[in-house]
Every structure is written in structure tokens, then in C-alpha cells.
Amino acid sequence: MATVRQVQVTFDCANPERVARFWCEVLGYVVPPPPPGFESWDEYDRAQPPERQGSAFACVDPTGAGPRLFFQRVPEGKVVKNRVHLDVRVGTGLVGEERLAALEAECARLLPLGATRGQLLLADEENESCLNMQDVEGNEFCLD
């Protein structure tokens, strides 16, 4: 039986580079170097056939610990809630007002980047508080 060693998370979107750069800011990820023989991703992109230009972009965790995020252009727009989403763990280990403050502070940082605030779900008997958000193309994620 094969062992999975790495996971990549793929986003369908209209503008791969825009969404990738948003997630770089959210997670502290970076754009990897362009393929050998190209000075920049723009140069690489211009070398592609016109229909493939701007069709994909990626970002990676500079520490190598997190999964690679890949963004691919699709023709259809987003019409329903995501079945899978990212939880951005900004309140790990925090409870009560301290956790709420961490969630609100991160929300305030992300709004100028193009994020949209969603519903704040307050702690109950089973779960700590979290804050629903959307990225620059409406993909749901949680501040957790």
C-alpha cells in the first residue's frame, strides 16, 4: 500500500494569480521560483499558448510544512458553498474573549486584502468560536 507524503489543495477560480496572492498574504506563503529557463512567472506565462496564459498559479509554505496551494482557471463561476474549505488556525489554544479578540484581529487584517466577513459562530458545549469568511472570489474559509 502506498503512503501519501504530500497533499496539494486545488482551488477552481477565475483569476488564479489574484487568488493565489491573496492566500500568500493570509498564510505567509510565497510564490515558488519559475521553471528553469525563465526569469519570472510573467516570462513563463508569455511563453504559453494564448489559451493557457493566466490559467494557473501556485503558492507554497516557505517552511515546507504546509500543503502547496494550486489555483486553476475554470470557465464557470462559483455558485454554491464549497464542500471543502480551509480553516486558518489563528485562535488555537485560546478561549473566550481572548479567542474572539484573535479572530477579530485577523479578520481586520484580511478585510483590506479583499476578504469578506461572514458569520461569527460563538462557542457552545462542543466547539470554540470561529468566524466564517470568504476570499477574493467568494471561496469560504474559517478563522478558527
State pLDDT tens for residues 89-111. Answer: 999 999 999 999 999 999 999 99
90 and 69 inside one domain: no
Full-model pTM: 0.90
Which residues constitute the domain of residue 132?
A: 86-143
Residue 117 inside a domain? The answer is yes
Which triple of cell numbers denotes residue 19? 487568488
State pLDDT tens for residues 27-47. Answer: 999 999 999 999 999 999 999
Residue 79 inside a domain? The answer is no
Find out whether 6 and 67 touch, Cβ atoms under 8 Å: yes
Positive or negative: CA dihedral 31, 139, 63, 8: negative
97 and 69 inside one domain: no
Question: pLDDT category, 121, cuts 50, 70, 90?
Answer: very high
For residue 87, the surrounding DSSP H or E stretch is: strand 86-88
